[in-house]
Amino acid sequence: SSPSFHPTAQTVRTATRTTISDLSFYTTLSSKQANVNIRQMQRVWWTILALPVLGHFLKDVNIVGTRHILKY
């Protein structure tokens, strides 16, 4: 192999090692943060899921309310 190959291989190896250690660092960091994020996401999802139900419920209430008003 040519001498110019070795420094490149060393650089790649170092870069790979750095990337792996960075990834493991961010993974442990994000796993702590993830619990908070998951809780927030669940809250957001429940809100999104609840909106159509709430809208449907309010529509029913309005229809019932309108019927009552029309009766009198």
**pLDDT by residue (tens digit) across 22-68?**
888 777 777 777 778 778 888 888 888 888 888 888 888 887 777 77
**pTM of the predicted model over 0.85:** no
pLDDT of 10 higher than 80: yes
CA 9 vs CA 17, 30, 48, 51, 63: distances in Å? 12, 31, 51, 56, 73
72 falls in which pLDDT band (50, 70, 90)? Answer: low
For residue 64, the model assigns a pLDDT of: 78
For residue 3, the model assigns a pLDDT of: 55
Place of tokens 């943060």: 33
